[in-house]
Structure 1
Amino acid sequence: MAVIEIKNVAKRFGSYQALHDINLTIDDQEFMVLLGASGCGKSTLLRIIAGLETQTTGEVWIGGRRIDHLPPKDRGIAMVFQNYAVFPHLTVFENIGFGLRMQKLPNDEVKRRVERTAELMHIEQLLSRYSGELSGGQRQRVAVARALAMEPDVILMDEPLSNLDALLRMEMRAELKGVLAESNTTAIYVTHDQVEAMSMADRISVMHEGRIVQAASPIEVYRDPAERFVAGFIGNPPMNFLPAEPTGAGQWRVAGQTLKGPDLNRPLEFAIRPEDMTLSDAGLKAKAKVVEPLGAHLLVTAEVDGTLFRAVLDSDLKVSPGDVLTLAPTPDRIRWFDPKSHHAVQ
């Protein structure tokens, strides 16, 4: 059982606090994605788990065993890096088997594992080639196969698809998720790409300024963001926000319109995703500024009560810059945030 437990982990580089009291449990065979912008601490956390950095405080446990005092080679972990780290002077077979040779495994066991993982990654026909003869996507497959051949308890991946073009990245996402599910390995995957996170993860841990602000399933992170940062970071385009004033009995004044909401008596922020807006006879008055036809839908950037506001509408609608629209939010998709704490209000 490769359950990972991160307990009160903090990391300081001089006067800079990179991680603040991180607590996270990752279940056996779970695919966990650490998602956040550059500098949020996600790669630092991954490197601490791997043993490439030492935490300032806290503990890391894998399978009920504390491992943060162990060297990387003794942690039962394999890692896939952003730059692949495929050795140019070795064949694909030798690259995949490199770690196994370091463990001094018998030749027949090395051959068995290399051929099995090469087949998993669909590169069995490339085993005799050198890395200079491979495409970027093929080198990435070699790097993943090398990690899987070690039969690790845990595999760590630090933005492994970021160097691939968009189409190949999409293909590799689906392939990688399937391979890891078949290998029964617990995986932690670092990325700043929310599409990767949403499409691959069993759970997403959204990181911001060295903290995990929400750890939940992709749909929960998307539909029920726990903090305003998550709502504004997840989604393309992200959520819209407007100030909301209470008028009593769970009624709220938003951009001159009355909407139902929490029964509270303090200002809040109204939030709604662009795709959860429809044209209607009653709703928020919006003046279209930019209209972007995007195939199946229109992305309309408008102004609502002096605030930029985006709506995703049906592509068959005729909308032009300067048009005044009435946009109605889907009631059960409205979210509310406290403007002081930035936490979601239920």
Structure 2
Amino acid sequence: MAVIEIKSVAKSFGSFTALHSVDLAIADREFMVLLGASGCGKTTLLRMIAGLETPSEGEIWIGGRRVDHLPPRERGIAMVFQNYAVFPHLTVYENIAFGLRMKKLPQAEVDRRVTRTAELMHIEQLLKRYSGQLSGGQRQRVAVARALAMEPDVILMDEPLSNLDALLRLEMRAELKGVLAASKTTTIYVTHDQVEAMSLADRISVMHQGRIIQSASPIEVYRDPAARFVGSFIGNPPMNFLPARRVGPGDWQVAGLALSGPSTDADEADFAIRPEDLSLADAGLPAEVRVVEPLGPHVLVTCDVAGHAFRAILDNETRAAPGDRLSLAPLPGRARWFDRTTQRALSA
């Protein structure tokens, strides 16, 4: 059982606090993604789990055992780095076998594990090559195979696909998800790429300024962001936001449009809607078209609504041009509302 518990973990570098008392529980065999922009603390948290950084406060538990005082080799983990860290003077076979030889496993067991993980990563035909003869994608597969060969309780991945081109990232994402599910390990994966996070994760922990803002399934993070930051960070393009004014209990005005919203004592809030949750209607938000981008299956239209940039994803047969005026209606049940002061979600 590789349950991971992070209890009130904080990290400071001098006067700078990189992590503020983070609490997180990760289930056995769960694929957890730490998602956030550069500087949010996600890699610092990963390095503390790995034993490469020491927490300033708090505890880290793996499999019911406290590990924050243990060296990395005693934590039952394997790590895949962003820059591959493949040894250039060793063949692919010896790269995968490196950790196994350090553990002094019998040669037959080394052969078995190297062969099995090479087949999982589709690099069995490359075992006799040196890393200088490999492409970037092949080197990344070697790095993942080396981690899997250790048969660890936990695999940690620090932006392992960021150096690959777009098509190769797509292929590797699909392979990784299948391979890690088959390996039955608990995985923590760090990325700033929301597409990777949405496609790979069982659960996403969105981080911002050293804190976990929301930890939930990909669809919940996407549909029900717990804070305005989550809605503005998740989605391509992200949520639209407009100021809203309360005119009665549960009744709001947004850019002149009357909408039902949360019952709150606040007179102001932020109305939010995703671009794909809008449709053309006779009565809607008044929008003036600024830019039209045909994107194959749909059209992305950037508009001005009450002086705010506002995007809508519409059917690819929509005829719109800069200067046109549209009326955009939110789809029923898709709008979200955020407290103007706390930036946290309000219940409609």
TM-score by length of 2: 0.99
Distance in 1 (alpha carbons) for counterparts of 2:95 and 2:9:
34
Partner residue in 2 for 1:21: 21
Equivalent pair of 1:248/1:265 in contact (CA under 8 Å): no
Instruction: Determine whether 1:209 maps to 2:177.
Output: no
Distance 2:274 2:338 in 1: 14
Number of the residue aligned with 2:51: 51
Structure 1 residue ranges, 4+ long, deviating more than 6 angstroms after superposition: none
Equivalent residue number for residue 335 of structure 1 = 336
CA RMSD of aligned residues (A): 0.6
1:265 CA displacement: 3.3
Q: Does 1:179 align with 2:179?
A: yes
Aligned length: 346
CA shift for structure 1 position 6: 0.3
Match of 1:313 in 2: 314
Q: Deviations over 1:227-283 (max 9, x none)?
A: 000010000111011111111131100001100111223211110000000000001
Q: Distance in 1 between matches of 2:308 and 2:112?
A: 61
Secondary structure at 1:311 match in 2? strand
The one-letter code matched in structure 2 to 1:143 is: A
Q: How far off is 1:289 after superposition?
A: 0.5
Alignment of 1:58-77 (within 5 A): 58-77=58-77
Q: Which residue of 1 aligns with 2:263?
A: 263
Residue 127 of structure 1 aligns with which residue?
A: 127
Q: Partners of 1:77 and 1:265 in 2: how far apart? A: 50
In terms of mean alpha carbon deviation, does 256-265 or 144-153 score higher? 256-265
Matches within 5 A, 1:78-93: 78-93=78-93
Deviation digits for residues 118-169 of structure 1 (CA, Å, limit 9, x no counterpart): 1111111111111111111111000000000000000000000000000000
Deviation at 1:40, TM superposition (A): 0.3
Answering whether residue 187 of structure 2 is matched by residue 150 of structure 1, we say no
Distance in structure 2 (CA, Å) of the matches to 1:308 and 1:289: 9
| Aligned match of 2:275 | 274
Aligned mates of 2:79, 2:265 — CA distance in 1 = 51
Match of 1:198, SS? helix
What residue number does 2:94 align with? 94
Identify the residue that residue 239 of structure 2 maps to in structure 1.
239
Measure the CA separation in 1 of the matches of 2:244 and 2:313.
22
Aligned-partner SS, 1:156: strand
Judge which range, 263-272 or 134-143, deviates more: 263-272
The 3-state SS of whatever aligns with 1:331 is: coil
Paired residues of 1:297 and 1:314 also in contact (CA < 8 A): yes
Which TM-score applies when normalising by structure 1? 0.99
Corresponding letter in the other structure for 1:200? L
CA deviation map 1:48-73 (0-9, x unaligned): 00000001000000010001111000
- Residue 43 of structure 1 and its aligned partner are, at CA, apart by 0.3
* SS class of match (1:10): strand
CA contact (8 A) 1:2 1:27 kept: yes
CA contact (8 A) 1:205 1:214 kept: yes
Find the counterpart in structure 1 of residue 299 from structure 2. 298
Instruction: Name the SS of the counterpart of 1:310 in structure 2.
Output: strand
Per-residue CA deviation, residues 172-215 of structure 1 (Å, 9 max, x unaligned), is 00100100000000000000000000000000000000000000
What SS is found at the alignment partner of 1:171? helix
Matched to 2:105, the amino acid is: L
The SS at the match of 1:17 is: strand
